[in-house]
Amino acid sequence: MAPRAAQAMITAAAALLLIGQAMRHRPLELRRQLREVDAPAVGALEPAASAVAPAAARRSSPPPANRPPPPLPPPAPRPPSELALRSAADPSCNPTPHAGFSGGSLNWGMSFHVGTAQECCDACKAHARVCGAPGAGGRVYLNRSWEGKVSAERCAKTMTSNELGTHAAQACNVFVFCPTPPSAGGLCWSNDVWNHSSGECWLKSQAAPQRPHAGAFGAYPDAYRKKHRTAPEKVQWMSGALHPGPVTVDGPHWHW
């Protein structure tokens, strides 16, 4: 063997001997370093695990026993009745249910029918607009439609009231309407000899429409119903007054 080769072998053997001695003195440190190199990055997984765990807990956890149930949705509003629809009128008419306003009549309501209280109020407004002018007697103030027929309603020259008897006609400022639909009998009771029917519209005039005089208003007294056996529990008519502000009803003044 050449001297150089022998020297190389000796050098390699010495190096191996030194490595072995080092391994004997530092086995724990090297093994720890090897574990750190091979171990997965546990810390990097913690945020994902911590994010998933609460969501999973929320999905699987039952609601607390003392938590109230969610509120139920409100019930759907009931549609207005046929009586309410027929009795409705805009505020300028001051619609007043269960009321029969007094006053001198400008028309014969039993032959003057309309479909709703609003139409009756509009007829009163038309009368006031046309018939309130001087010399308006005989003028057409309304083309009224009822059951397929159209009637030209004209301004009267005179009118009759309980207070003044027969006198010059005045402009309409109060009205009385029978709103009872045919499905509910189609009648409005009154203390007279007539059977008043659904749709009757009486145009009247009073001295103070802001305080309309009511011969009937609200519920009939028990004593009144005992005397008039056919009287209903409440007044079936509705009335209105042409006044820019709210009105105060003067009544009832029952006709016994």
> What is the C-alpha separation between 170 and 160, in angstroms, rounded?
10
Beta bridge partners of 143: 152
Q: Closest by alpha carbon to 111, among 184, 192, 196, 176?
A: 196
Can you spell out the DSSP letters for 133-171?
STT-TT-EEEEEEETTEEEEEE--SEEEETTTEEEE---
Structure tokens at 96: 């007043």
> What is the C-alpha separation between 113 and 145, in angstroms, rounded?
9
Cα 20-23-24 angle, rounded to 5 deg: 90
The one-character DSSP state at 107 is S
> What is the C-alpha separation between 232 and 100, in angstroms, rounded?
14
Q: What is the pLDDT of residues 38-74, one digit of tens each?
A: 545 444 444 444 545 555 555 555 556 688 888 888 8
Q: Closest by alpha carbon to 173, among 214, 217, 129?
A: 129
Question: Which residue in the block uniquely carries the two structure tokens 């001997």?
Answer: 17
Q: Compute how many other C-beta atoms are within 10 angstroms of the C-beta atom of residue 132.
A: 16
Record the pTM: 0.70
- Determine contact, residues 114/201, Cβ cutoff 8 Å: yes
| Spans in the chain with pLDDT lower than 50 | 1, 30, 34, 37, 39, 41-49, 51
Structure tokens at 44: 């990097």
Domain boundaries, the chain: 96-241
Question: Which residue in the block uniquely carries the two structure tokens 């440190």?
Answer: 29
pLDDT score, position 121: 98
pLDDT score, position 49: 46
- Determine contact, residues 204/112, Cβ cutoff 8 Å: no
- Determine contact, residues 209/230, Cβ cutoff 8 Å: no
pLDDT score, position 42: 45
Question: Which residue in the block uniquely carries the two structure tokens 């109230």?
Answer: 68
Q: Compute how many other C-beta atoms are within 10 angstroms of the C-beta atom of residue 67.
A: 8
Kindly report the average pLDDT of the chain as a whole number.
84
pLDDT score, position 56: 53
